[in-house]
Amino acid sequence: MSKSVKNPGLSELDELCVQTIRFLSAEAVQKAKSGHPGMPMGMAPAAYVLWAKHLKHNPANPGWHNRDRFVLSAGHGSALLYSLLHLAGYDISLDELKNFRQWGSKTPGHPEYDPQRGVEVTTGPLGQGISNAVGMAIAQKYLANYFNRDGFPIIDYKIYVIVSDGDLQEGVASEASSLAGHLGLDNLIVVYDDNHITIDGDTDLAFTEDRAKRYQAYGWNVQEVGGDGNDMAAFEKALEKAKAQKQRPGLIKLRTHIAYGSPNKQDTAGAHGAPLGDDEIRLIKERFGWDPEKSFYVPDEVSSHMRKAVEKGAEAKKAWDKMFADYAKAHPQLAQQFRDAAAGKLPLNLDDILPKFEAGSSVATRKASGKALDALMPKLPLVLGGSADLTPSNNTRFADAKNFQKDARDGRYIHYGIREHAMGAIMNGISVSGLARAYGGTFLVFSDYMRGAIRVAAMSKYPTIFVFTHDSIGVGEDGPTHQPVEQLASLRAIPNLLVFRPADANETAQAWKFALENRDGPVALLLTRQGLTVLDQDKYGSAANLSKGAYVLAGADKPDVLLLASGSEVGIALEAAEKLAAEKIAAQVVSMPCWELFDKQSQEYKDSVIPPNVKARVGIEAGVELGWHKWLGEKDIFVGMSSFGASAPGKVCFEKFGITVDNVVKAAKKTIEKK
């Protein structure tokens, strides 16, 4: 047991809880022989006070919609989160702490999204967590405005975050924090673990600006708590002030010491990313009067005290349930909307309101997307849109949309500014709210700037919708800096990301239908700047076949060659098929808007679309060939890009780079000859 109470503001029991958190975290890392023990040891007092005295949560029902959110943005300190979850009564057993970082455990090396176990978002890539939290705060503000009525604050929670020096160094956090200040998100409280240490050593090596003044400039309420991280009276006072703030998010800059209490490793980089060692842990235990022979030890009084969270959470949930029952009587329609949203149900059949486009007309798929949003969004009040300062180009703003701002919490359109990476991470935070979803747009070439957020969304199965326009060399005069050639292939390489590249306006509308109905992960929509001919669905089949990922547009009883294409190149394939038919060569044209969905279809269906007995195939796409080996054989030909683009009108670019009807015809003939 602790020899004495050393921490101001803590009782002897509080002190015992703090030490339990410290040792559970350090021992989990030690047993795994891998991890980051220093951060949990330094932040244990602050985390304890937050979780035991302020956080509104319900371990027996972790998904309760009115819970406070806790985000450990400093995900390398995951042992801290798991120790807290175990002690508070979540589905993290002591055996799971002992199984830290092992195959199949519930305690992976960095937190992975699992709200039923109390993990609100996937963190680890630094800066993502705090940026997700900004999205959570936006969602809370919007949802509270939408659902709450006088006497019924059914959406009333805060978002708490622990960040590290590393988080604040990452650009994505700066982008998101700047927007949070502009939007006045006073429901967001960030605790900065200011321990002065990163992997390379002291932060003075590369990080010397005044972080407090930086956040003040962003428009945040900033408080600094000095000392060694153990003055919990001062920390709690700062926390109370942050909670009472209006119109400003809060940052508490808390001076801590990494591996606090370690005789040889405190304040060293060695405590950041490596186990302390059995001998060092023994020394720390002796220093704090803890029995060195006991490991993963939780005193009964600590367990009893921390598990009060279960009872308190159940009481809070019971009171909320009663309020919601009364709310449902007073506002039945809103209550039903709440229930439907919580169950993932859309409020209507999207087929009834999808726009239809006239065959033969020319419509850029970005414009078709805008028309689809005009039709859909007024009926979907819990979907929030936005763009990274490219609204007129992305066509992401729907008719009569109102901006979400500090003085307009009912707005559904978010101006993210020129902050692609933050936009992606913030949309992820909105989409894990449990009730709201987000979409946002930028140019496809700038998906590179937000790839970290896209990857985490796919890994975590966040239902975020990423809209990317200007999807090829068809961008034209802006040149190679703005013409994506490798981005389509790179997005397809991300597991669990559905990438749609629709061939015309009607496929685009169907892509939106699929994206909004899909709840099993993120979707990326890739759309053209240039106009595309709207296909005749009576002649070529229904665009609703997009839901299968690929389908036959122009069939043949006994095809000599298959022309496989996506997006704007489908039209080229159809024209090439007509030319080939005039020469008595039967070509089957396949639109392939989403490879990932096509892969999920039955083998029978896939063989009907791409018959295995037809050996001659041509792939056509205004991007690099990477990935096409799945559909093409060694002797087949790919018509596409093998270099960056060029500055010229879009039609000229297609001609100069050989993505033309004549070249497809030549490629088809040559492929047939090879077979």
Q: Do 394 and 469 form a contact (C-beta atoms < 8 A)? A: yes
Q: Do 587 and 563 form a contact (C-beta atoms < 8 A)? A: yes
3-state secondary structure of 21: helix
CA distances to 112, 124, 219, 458 from 463, rounded to whole Å, are 15, 20, 30, 9
Q: Do 156 and 217 form a contact (C-beta atoms < 8 A)? A: no
Residue 459, both tokens: 């890994």
Q: How far apart are CA 151 and CA 55, in angstroms?
A: 22
Query: Which is nearest to 126 in space by CA: 437, 423, 487, 425?
Result: 425
Q: How far apart are CA 243 and CA 67, in angstroms?
A: 15
Q: Identify residue 607 by its one-letter amino acid code.
A: D
Query: Which is nearest to 136 in space by CA: 113, 153, 117?
Result: 113
Q: How far apart are CA 470 and CA 653, in angstroms?
A: 14
Whether residue 486 lies in the annotated active site: no
Q: What is the dihedral of CA 449, 452, 456, 461, to 10 degrees?
A: 20
| Helices (H), ranges, 222-307 | 232-244, 278-287, 300-306
Q: Do 113 and 81 form a contact (C-beta atoms < 8 A)? A: no
Q: How far apart are CA 571 and CA 579, in angstroms?
A: 13
Sign of CA dihedral 209, 186, 114, 386: negative
Q: How far apart are CA 57 and CA 320, in angstroms?
A: 12
Q: How far apart are the first and last CA of the chain?
A: 80
Q: How far apart are CA 402 and CA 408, in angstroms?
A: 8
Q: How far apart are CA 49 and CA 67, in angstroms?
A: 17
Tally of CB atoms within 10 A around 171: 12
33 burial type by CB count under 10 A (0-12 exposed, 13-18 middle, 19+ buried): exposed
Q: DSSP letter for 61, please.
A: S
How remote is the C-alpha of 541 from its chain's centroid?
35
241 burial type by CB count under 10 A (0-12 exposed, 13-18 middle, 19+ buried): middle
Q: Do 472 and 484 form a contact (C-beta atoms < 8 A)? A: yes
Q: DSSP letter for 503, please.
A: S
**If residue 413 lies in a helix (H) or strand (E), which one and from where to where?**
strand 413-415
CA distances to 249, 438, 489 from 145, rounded to whole Å, are 18, 17, 41
Pick the catalytic residue: 27, 175, 420, 621? 420
Planar angle of CA 558, 562, 564, nearest 5 degrees: 150
Tell me the residue ranges of DSSP E strands in 206-314. Answer: 221-225, 250-255
Q: How far apart are CA 622 and CA 554, in angstroms?
A: 21
3-state secondary structure of 134: helix
Residue 651, both tokens: 């039609």
Query: Which is nearest to 25 in space by CA: 71, 92, 70, 89?
Result: 92
Backbone angles phi, psi at 590, to 5 degrees: -120, 125
Q: Which residues are catalytic?
A: 420
